[in-house]
Amino acid sequence: MCGRFTLTVDPAQLQDAYPGTEFPPQFAPRFNIAPTQPVLAIPNDGQNRADFFVWGLIPSWAKDPSIGNRLINARGETLAEKPSFRGVYKYKRCLVLADGFYEWKTQPGTKVKIPHFIHMKDRQPFAFAGLWDKWNSPDGSQIRSCTIVTTEPNELMASIHNRMPVILPHDAYAKWLDTAPQTPDSLGALIKPYPAGEMTAHPVSTLVNNPKNDLAECVVPA
């Protein structure tokens, strides 16, 4: 799964990484992004613009927005089967922007879980495969929300956890953000582990266990 991540780069660096995409003029670095909080994403709405979405998918048909608390991740193997994800997998996909994420490794023979920070070896930003939707509140307001797609772990992640987020390579962005409806056959090849050789991980402080601790110290090696 993916339950916490970071986005610490400045807007100019993101602009270089995603040319042609419009970004908010400024935003604060985030070292401990948690579910239900705003995440920066690029939706396939044809606008080429990044915006903030609530992390936790609220399907357009939902009666209660609290369903989003249970839909922070979407299992890649069953996207085409689950009612909550089937429609948005076909029509509403997004890139969720990050430069690292956390996962917790259970110590053998104990219930102790040690948080690890995972990032690219070159420390460049990257994008999770995401799905998004719009939910209209009875009061007339609208919430745009998203979920992060997960898959089986690569060799690096397998030593930490049994799942990992789907990280898309740059050459897959155009396909994932295509505004045309897609089929599981056309997208299925993108739902796979990212190459382990390009990633690295290290244990970090349990500071990250509390989402209130949005601090640079969260990513420092323990």
Which residues are tagged catalytic? 2, 103
Q: Which residues contact 117 (CB under 8 A, 6 or more apart)?
A: 6, 100, 101, 102, 201, 202, 203, 204, 208, 218, 219
Residue 15 DSSP symbol: H
Q: Which residues contact 121 (CB under 8 A, 6 or more apart)?
A: 198, 199, 200
Identify whether the C-beta of residue 193 lies closer than 8 Å to the C-beta of residue 151.
yes
Cβ of 3: how many Cβ atoms within 10 Å?
A: 17
CA–CA separation, 76 and 91 (whole Å) = 15
**Helix or strand run (H / E) with residue 84:** helix 83-91
Q: Bridge-partner residues for 200, per DSSP?
A: 119
Both tokens of residue 82? 């689950």
